[in-house]
Amino acid sequence: MLKDPFGRPVSNIRISVTPRCNLHCIYCHREGEVGQDGLISVDDITAILTAGTQFGIRSAKFTGGEPLLRTDLCEIVSAVPAGMECSLTTNGTLLADLAWDLKNAGLSRVNVSLDSLHPTTYRAISGSDRLNDVLAGIDAALDAGLSPVKINMVVLGGINEDEVDDFLTYVRGDRHLVLQLIELMDRPDCHYHFNLTPLEGALAAHSKEIFTRRMHHRRKYCLDGAEVEVVRPLHNSEFCAHCNRLRVTSDGKLKPCLLRSDNHISILGKRGEELDDLIKKAVALRAPFYT
């Protein structure tokens, strides 16, 4: 397994397969992509996944944009090597029709971005009236055995922070559903930051069990039949100190850190020893953004 200069092992690869999306969420950070040019091919994705196996990469996550907009997504999922876990982050709007195909292609689980259970608020956040499509997609994922289904809720001050209890009710009693409460990433045009510290304190106070996950050292709270994780990447040295991810942009560049765009390395068309060396170089460039 590769380790960066700060002793952090890299065991996870996160691949953006497209910058396109069918929603227009007010907070979207676009996976940190800037000036995207071109689209990574299935062959290049296959090459980076195959190379990753020899370096101890144990899991792959496909993201976007909205990855389900790629008509060859099932082919991409099928390219994941045996023994490597495969998951997907999606807005869920197209998931109902594709959940079984993705499961049969080898997908293990999904994260579904859902920031409101109320149609008016959902529309205000996403610019779309497709809440019912998302809920149907979650049901289809559960039926297909894509477990767990993690519900990604970005908590937005003045918009949806009063819905946390509603989301707890939504996931409560279903061990295949997990709620992730996510801190808003800094964006100059989005001013809805919400302080998750008091909320996390309340969760801790009412939890029967608290687990600390290896990835990013995030906490999982178990309370009244609901599982909740709190994801706080901003100004969080602990989050960065336990980061195990290497990212690939939708135009085929290795991205050592979500919050940096000045140290990307193109891997388009690279194979064999040349690709291996580029992966090692990208890992060597990894550094905690917050220390």
Q: Where are the domains of the chain?
A: 12-284
Angle at CA of residue 206, ends 203 and 210, nearest 5°: 70
Within the chain, what is the greatest distance between any pair of CA atoms?
53
Residues found in the chain: 291
Half-sphere exposure of 39 (CA within 13 A, CB side): 12
Distance of CA 218 to the CA centre of its chain: 14
- State the Cα–Cα distance between residues 180 and 104, nearest whole angstrom: 26
Give the separation between CA 51 and CA 216, rounded to whole angstroms: 24
Percent of the chain at pLDDT > 70 equals: 98
pLDDT of the residue at 32 = 72
- All residue ranges of the chain with pLDDT < 50 are none
User: What radius of gyration, in Å, describes the C-alpha atoms of the chain?
Assistant: 18
The CATH number assigned to the domain with range 12-284 reads: 3.20.20.70
- Contact indicator for 208, 222 with CB cutoff of 8 Å: yes
Distance between CA atoms of 273 and 30, rounded to whole angstroms? 31
pLDDT the model gives residue 185: 84
CA separation for the pair 65, 69 (Å, rounded): 9
Q: Are strands 226-231 and 245-248 parallel, antiparallel or unpaired?
A: unpaired
Amino acid residing at 208? K
pTM, rounded to two decimals: 0.94
CB 42 within 8 A of CB 76: yes
Reference 231, options 88, 222, 240, 138; nearest CA is 240
Rounded-to-integer distance, Cα 26 and Cα 128, Å: 11
Residue 35 burial (C-beta neighbours within 10 Å; 0-12, 13-18, 19+)? exposed
- Element (H or E) spanning 182, and its range? strand 177-182
Question: What are the backbone dihedrals phi and psi of residue 57, each rounded to the nearest 5 degrees, phi first?
Answer: -70, 120
Closest CA to 73 of 36, 39, 98: 98
